[in-house]
Every structure is written in C-alpha cells, then in structure tokens.
Amino acid sequence: YPSHKISAGDMRSIALQAVAFFFFTDTIHAFHTQICSPRTSRNVPKTPLSMSSYLDSLSDFHVSQPPPSWTPPPIPTVSSSDPTSTNNDSHNSDNNLPPRPTFYHAPLDYFAIDLLSPPCPRKNADVGTPCDSYRELCDLDSTSAGSWYCSSGGWPSPNPRSTTEVFYVLDGHGRLIDEDGMEHYFGPGDTVILPKGWSGRWDVLENVRKVWFVHEHDDVKKENDETIRVIVVPYHELTTMEMQFSYGTYKLSTRGKPDIFSSIVYSVEPTKAGSWICTPGGLKIENLNIHHGFHVLEGVMYITDEGSEMGQSRMCVAGDLVVLPKGWSGYLDVVETVRKLWTTLDA
C-alpha cells in the first residue's frame, strides 16, 4: 500500500526467502524426475486367441465361434492395461542356445467384459439363452490361461472332459452337477476344479465371470469306476492362516526373511492346485521344472526375469493373472503379504 514503507532490511529478507523457495522447488523437481518417474517399459506379447478346444470342453457340442472377421481389440498404450510377457530373446549372443522362457502377466482390466470376444450363444443350451465370451492370456501347449464370461442359462455336458481346469470365480453364481446327480454350487471367491474325465451339467444361475487355467495331460486311472466329481474350494480355505502349512523362511531369499505358508486343495498327478501366502521379502526362483500359473488374491509383489533390466520388472496386485513357464528363472519381491491361488502341471 502507498502508505506502507518497506525498509531495506525487509527487502533483503524477502529476496532471500524467494531464492530459498525456488531452490527448494527445483530440488524437489529434480528428485521426482530421477527417483519417482516410471522407468518401466512393457513388451506386449501376441496372445493366441484360438479357443475352440477350451470352449468345446464346456460341453460335447461345438460352441459357436466369433465371426472370422473378429480380431482381438487393440492393446491399450497404458502399460497397466497391457498383458505382459518379458522378452529375453537377446539374453545370449549364442544363437544356438534357445531363448530363456519368459513369463506372462495381465491385470484384471485386461479381461474387462468389453474387451472379450463377441458373445456367442451356446447351441446345446436347454435352459435360457446363455452366451459366452473369452480372452486368452497364453497357450503353452500343455497349459493355457485366460478369462471367460457367460450369461445365465444351462446345458448338458455328457461327454468326459479332455482336460483338467482350475478356475476362480470373479462374479456370478452357478451350479455344476456330476453325472450321478450330485450338485456343486459356486459363487464369487470360490475356486472350482473340473478334473479330466468329468461329465455332467452346467447351470449359470447368475452371469458368471472367471479366470481359468487348463491343463492337458494323459488320462488319470480311476479306481472301481468311481464318479469323477467337481471340487469347490471356498475363499477362506485359501487365505486363512489356520488352513495353511508353514514352510518356514524361504532359503533362497534375496531380501529380508520371507515366510512361506501353503496348502494343497487338489493333487491328482500331474495337476496340483492350492494356496500360497508369503510375507514381505525377496525370493529367487531357479529353473522351474513345471509350468506354474497363479491368480493374485491379495497383496503386492514384483516379478523380474533373471538378468533382465529394471524395465522388465512387473508389479502384481490383487486380480492379476500370471503364468511362469517351465525353465523360468527370476525373482519375486513381495512388498505386501501376498495370497494367491496357484496351479501347476508337470510338463
């Protein structure tokens, strides 16, 4: 104000405060740019989408396929929506050596309903007009993974399954009936196992959305012609500590002392399925001798290929789907205690 006089001392004080302010903001900006800026770059695989074998496994009738002109929706440029497969083809200059196996990862929004294939009606439905859609993450010959959505309705499935399927219910309710009439109801949070050789009936009582793992393997010998049954495992059996077996601290830890807890809910060779809980810490995985797929139920962790650059590390959170193929080596860094549903197949 004109009536207010500012002394020379006040002017010096104001100038010093201004210099300090700009120095502080420049320092914070430099710190954010160097430390906090994202440094990851994701390589998006060409995920196969030939799903006739999976869809046909839901019944003995051929399921209507998407029109030949349909192609997968374009992969978003936002990395958090991309399915992820690390690319290590150049890890070794010797072209005579096979490339190191890579892992596959997709967040839940990769399987959003509007990104699935166009819905197709089931030709053998005898209740309602169920239509299903799908999207696949990967197909490793004997193991595949993806997501499936189906509207309400029902259909018979009298022919024995040619594969074993493990799936986790994201939404909806349904019922599976064994060939002798035993009923199995399932809903959100349940894990369902359809063993090879199972036959019976599907009823989608409320639109169902699930993520799945399918294993192709040799026939499993039955004893006394017993009925092959569906198995439904509720969520609490996978996540409650009282239901787990303690394996102690992981021996190949790279950070901290991560404790491992696990349980097996299905074990019919060569397929196994169960739960896994790990407290914060780093784990080294060396040369997997099986295909290993899992769905993250809770927690946060990073997966990194052995020998890869920082940009090839993937953050995994609840809802993510991951497949680690046979022969994979790398690191798991658990930031927040992780709970996951896993399934393995001796390949």
- pLDDT at 72 (0 to 100): 40
pLDDT of residue 223: 62
For the chain, the distance separating the N- and C-terminal CA atoms, rounded to the nearest angstrom, is 83
Give all strands (DSSP E) within 122-199, no chain letters. Answer: 131-139, 143-150, 153-157, 164-178, 183-186, 191-194
Do 47 and 137 meet the contact criterion of CB atoms below 8 Å apart?
Answer: yes
In the prediction, which pLDDT does 20 show? 47
Element (H, E) at 10: helix 8-31
d(CA 325, CA 346): 11
Contact 104, 114 (CB under 8 A): no
Residues of the chain with pLDDT under 50: 1-4, 6, 19-54, 59-82, 87-95, 97, 310-311
DSSP state, 61?
Answer: S
Contact 159, 198 (CB under 8 A): no
What local confidence, expressed as pLDDT, does residue 22 receive?
Answer: 42
How far, in Å, CA of 283 to CA of 270, rounded?
Answer: 25
CA distances from 64 to 57, 67, 120, 123, 130 (A): 13, 9, 6, 7, 12
So what's the pLDDT on residue 124? 92
For the chain, count helices (H), then strands (E): 3, 20
Q: What is the pLDDT of residue 218?
A: 81
pLDDT of residue 78: 28
> So what's the pLDDT on residue 262?
97
* Contact call for residues 122 and 131 (beta carbons, < 8 A): yes
Per-residue pLDDT reduced to its tens digit, 213-247 = 999 888 876 666 788 999 999 999 999 999 999 99
